[in-house]
């Protein structure tokens, strides 16, 4: 029935519920139907082991996707940075809404910048990429591998258990927690973040009703889709999971896209990076990172071009020795 609620599957965490609620409100307006949240418990919600130990690939998405295929819900909302790059053939990412702030932030009690924290300061984060970045930015600090929701991480700083935690700016924007702590925004040029960070993916089954697909399409932000397509193509090209110690961030400006990507040694010692700007109108992307307009195909698909740019970037990183720094999955 056209008036039946659209069932949106989501993890039970406060952050997942907040971002799913935002999508639900937007979808209800364009679809003219109510949208109800269907809480689903993922492995990532029950397995309390460190993400650096369990890998993280699909840990938040697999159970939700099983529920979608089984008909327990009609759509899913994922944090795109937690979503494996391989999409099952029976599913489709039907929308990528406008991206939130993609930066990381440092939360401290006194406002001391991360690089000025005193020797032995305890900095909490569970992501291998952030661990490597902290060890580069604040080599005298002690990195504490943590899990938990945003509120519990903030509380550990408030009580003095930790001197700082690293969080995603998008999560703070969506949750808006009350806190009397200091925030340091980390610029993407020197502190790039995970592929897809700050972006959401709305997923449904490939044979979903046409009216649902059409409604979801109205939530799409093309610049966000192009940027995250490049970022995730780099991740796929490196053949590692979304918990690898690497970063990739792309920004669309007009017909061009700027891509920054870095692969880190887990201990924070070495890093291999690139920073390139490519045209999205060109159908041919050379391996040296520049386009060739003479070889461009008329009407080239921008999304295909975005994937080619990401694949080319991954190839260049591997040529520079990135494989030596990355865990294989």
Give catalytic residues, as residue numbers.
82
Residue 151 to residue 252: CA distance in whole angstroms: 33
Q: Which residue has the tokens 């089954």?
A: 205
Q: CB of 105 within 8 A of CB of 186?
A: yes
For residue 29, what are the contacts with CB-CB under 8 A and spacing of at least 6? none
Q: What is the rounded CA–CA span in Å between residue 142 and residue 27?
A: 44
Count of residues in the chain: 329
Q: What is the largest CA-CA distance in the chain?
A: 63
Judge contact between 234 and 310, C-beta under 8 A.
yes
Gap between the Cα atoms of 322 and 287, Å rounded: 16
Residues 146, 153 contacting (CB under 8 angstroms):
yes
Please answer whether residues 138 and 121 qualify as being in contact, where contact means their C-beta atoms are separated by less than 8 angstroms: yes
**Rounded to 5°, angle at Cα 273 from 105 and 255:** 85
Q: Which two tokens stand for residue 25?
A: 């409100």
Taking CA 92 as the corner, what is the angle to CA 304 and CA 263, rounded to the nearest 5 degrees?
55
Report the phi/psi class of residue 120: left, alpha or beta, with left for phi > 0 and alpha for psi in -120 to 50.
Answer: left
Tokens representing 72 are 């327990």
């Amino acid at each position: 029935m056209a008036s039946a609620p659209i069932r949106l599957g989501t993890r039970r965490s406060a952050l997942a519920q907040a971002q799913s609620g935002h999508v639900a409100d937007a979808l209800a307006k364009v679809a003219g139907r109510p949208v109800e949240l269907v809480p689903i418990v993922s492995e990532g919600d029950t397995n309390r082991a460190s993400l650096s130990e369990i890998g993280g690939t699909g840990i938040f998405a697999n159970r939700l996707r099983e529920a979608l295929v089984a008909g327990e819900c009609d759509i899913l909302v994922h944090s795109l940075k937690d979503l494996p790059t391989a999409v099952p053939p029976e599913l489709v990412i039907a929308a990528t809404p406008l991206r939130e702030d993609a930066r990381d932030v440092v939360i401290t009690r006194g406002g001391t910048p991360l690089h000025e924290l005193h020797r032995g300061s305890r900095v909490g984060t569970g992501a291998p990429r952030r661990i490597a970045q902290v060890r580069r930015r604040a080599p005298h600090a002690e990195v504490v591998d943590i899990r938990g929701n945003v509120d519990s991480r903030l509380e550990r700083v408030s009580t003095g258990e930790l001197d700082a935690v690293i969080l995603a700016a998008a999560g703070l924007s969506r949750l808006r927690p009350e806190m009397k702590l200091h925030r340091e925004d980390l610029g993407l040029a020197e502190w790039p973040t995970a592929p897809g960070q700050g972006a959401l993916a709305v997923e449904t089954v490939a044979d979903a009703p046409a009216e649902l697909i059409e409604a979801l399409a109205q939530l799409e932000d093309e610049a966000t889709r192009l940027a995250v397509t490049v970022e995730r193509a780099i991740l796929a090209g490196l053949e590692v999971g979304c918990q690898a110690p690497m970063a990739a961030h792309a920004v669309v400006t007009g017909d061009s896209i700027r891509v920054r990507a870095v692969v880190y040694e887990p201990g924070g010692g070495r890093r291999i990076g690139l920073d390139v700007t490519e045209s999205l109108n060109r159908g041919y992307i050379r391996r040296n990172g520049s386009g060739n307009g003479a070889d461009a195909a008329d009407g080239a698909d921008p999304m295909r071009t975005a994937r080619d740019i990401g694949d080319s970037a991954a190839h260049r990183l591997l040529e520079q020795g990135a494989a030596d720094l990355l865990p294989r999955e």
